[in-house]
Amino acid sequence: MTSTATSPAELSNEEIFRYSRHLILPEVGLEGQKKLKQARVLLVGVGGLGSPAALYLAAAGVGTLGLVDFDVVDATNLQRQIIHGTRTIGKRKLDSARDRIEDLNPNVKVEAHETPLTSRNALEIIRTYDIVVDGTDNFQTRYLVNDACVILGKPNVYGSIYRFEGQASVFATGDAPCYRCLFREPPPPGLVPSCAEGGVLGVLPGIVGTIQTTEALKLILGIGESLAGRLLLIDALRMRFRTLNLRKDPTCPACGTHEIKELIDYEEFCGVRQAAADDAAALSAVPEISPVQLAARIARGDDFDLIDVREPHEWDIARIPGARLIPLATLVNQLPTLDSARDIIVHCKMGGRSAKAVQQLQASGFRKVWNLSGGITRWSNDVDPSTPKY
Amino acid sequence: MFSLARQLTSKSIPELQVAFFVFSHRGRMAVTLFLPTVLARLADSGTLRSEGNTVGEVVANISGRYPELAPRLRDAQGDPYAFVTFYLNDEDIRFTGSFQSPVKDGDELTIVPAIAGG
């Protein structure tokens, strides 16, 4: 007899033995463990926050875990996304996570949703779950998850991270405030860097993701004092935890006035589409040179200046021979040190910051300026594979 | 009003001198600001001292000292953004009068910007 064949309302002997440390906790006990087994939790994103959440929810014996993700495991994920491994690089995150969960606890049923969560599918997907754990990495999906949870009346266990700091709360449960009560509108695109741009201490999503998991388990078990109505701020660098009171905003369009009766266009709401179009327009307006063309100019012994506008800690990781470091923020002060009579080629990691630098130089009267398309990353791909990528 | 206060205090009436002292020290409530790392790099540190009679004055004081930080705390009109929440001690100022919320000596102002990493 396999343990997975047991009725959802009962625990097999194997399960009783597996969960013994829970069962001897009076606050959990047999009844609590059965509640966990019958629970259905949806994880939106199986990345930094979703990895520890999925592992601990599975270990705890939550009967059904829904996973929403459409990404593939990349080596740069493994510094923090501990559900994945070196062996699963290149695999779909859903398959990688399912393998690990099945190994950790074969009693858990995994429901994989290989799709981005969108206004078209969010209500349908979320509807069948009891609790949502928000482990997304962008504002548009956070507002989408929030509004869908408010509309459906599902608790939204929130966590968010940046560099060394995190936030956690439980939204949309009972009379609790929602994400929009805390932040009515998202910041304009580009103002708050993503973890890919700004970096994140690998263990931080471990701290925040396990706090989200703790809240999800407490909600299922109906024990303790939830973070609903409170915002937990986590500062890993100073190792300070602080709780602030969250109030329900009576004018909140989601949970206050209930103006939001159906899901909206969240990319539009967050200005993402316009920003992407603006970026593309800005990039296309800038004269470019490819890494292969740059290598040819270096080989010919052409006379030009190569300017690297990245940060000093990036310069320490990798650089293109002959480049001079002028971080973008300091470019304006360094203009007098540049010769507008000479050809100037500007580069960064991927080509975005250097495009801005080229525009700044053009605005200051420089005419012979080019952006290295794809930055040092493409230089590594196309010219010199010994240059580390990061 | 300053000249009126000076005229009155010049008469050396003790009560008025006290009143003038209180008046002239208005806007000097010492408040500690806590900035998250994303904003701390635009100032000297994550913990700043400021003063003012209201949250708005405290923020204006800091904005004057750190011009790069200023546009991250308030918009061009000097009003708070919808994606940066200010907590005076443990309370969201939007429910206590926004930037007009009065501050006391020793109050703590925590700035909580929206972050989305996961």
Contact A204, A236 (CB under 8 A): yes
A186 touches B: beta carbon within 8 Å: yes
- Which one, of A172, A332, A114, A233, lies nearest residue B115 by Cα? A233
pLDDT, tens digit (0-9, with 9 covering 90-100), for B25-76:
555 799 999 999 889 989 988 999 999 999 999 999 999 999 999 999 999 9
pLDDT, position A77: 97
Contacts of A161 in chain B (CB under 8 A): 115, 117-118
A198 touches B: beta carbon within 8 Å: yes
Pick the residue with more confidence: A370 or A188?
A: A370
pLDDT exceeding 70 applies to what percent of chain A?
A: 98
CATH 3.40.250.10 corresponds to the domain A287-382 = yes
A205–B118 C-beta distance less than 8 A = yes
CATH 3.40.50.720 corresponds to the domain A39-276 = yes
- Mean pLDDT within A188-212: 88
- Which one, of A71, A67, A68, lies nearest residue A58 by Cα? A67
Place of tokens 């000297």: B44
- Which one, of B42, B31, B41, lies nearest residue B86 by Cα? B31
pLDDT, position A63: 98
B113 touches A: beta carbon within 8 Å: yes
ipTM beyond 0.90?
no
Q: Give the side-chain half-sphere CA count within 13 A for A107.
A: 28
pLDDT, position B9: 44
Q: Give the side-chain half-sphere CA count within 13 A for A209.
A: 30
A247–B95 C-beta distance less than 8 A = yes
- Residues 6 or more apart from A327 whose CB is under 8 A from it? A309, A310, A311, A312
- Mean pLDDT within A109-118: 97
Domain boundaries, chain A: 39-276, 287-382
A348 belongs to the catalytic site: yes
- Residues 6 or more apart from A117 whose CB is under 8 A from it? A44, A68, A125, A136, A141, A144, A145
Average pLDDT, chain A: 94
Note the Cα A183 to chain centre separation in Å.
Answer: 18
Q: How far is B57 from chain A (nearest CA, A)?
A: 22
Lowest-confidence range among A25-34, A215-224, A275-284? A275-284
B94–A160 C-beta distance less than 8 A = no
Domain boundaries, chain B: 27-113
C-alpha–C-alpha distance, residues B118 and B114, integer Å: 13
pLDDT, position A278: 80
A142 touches B: beta carbon within 8 Å: yes
pLDDT, position A279: 77
pLDDT, position B6: 45
In the DSSP assignment, the letter for residue B93 is G
Looking at domain B27-113, its CATH class is alpha beta
Lowest-confidence range among A190-194, A221-225, B46-50? A190-194
> Which residue out of A68, A79, A197, A245 would a mutagenesis test of the B interface target, given it has the greatest number of B Cβ atoms within 10 Å?
A245
pLDDT, position B13: 54
Contacts of B38 in chain A (CB under 8 A): 162-163, 165, 192-193, 198
Confidence of residue A315 (pLDDT cuts 50, 70, 90): very high
pLDDT, tens digit (0-9, with 9 covering 90-100), for B3-37:
444 444 444 455 555 455 455 455 579 999 999 98
pLDDT, position A2: 44
pLDDT, tens digit (0-9, with 9 covering 90-100), for A4-41:
456 767 999 999 999 999 999 999 999 999 999 999 99
Contact A71, A49 (CB under 8 A): no
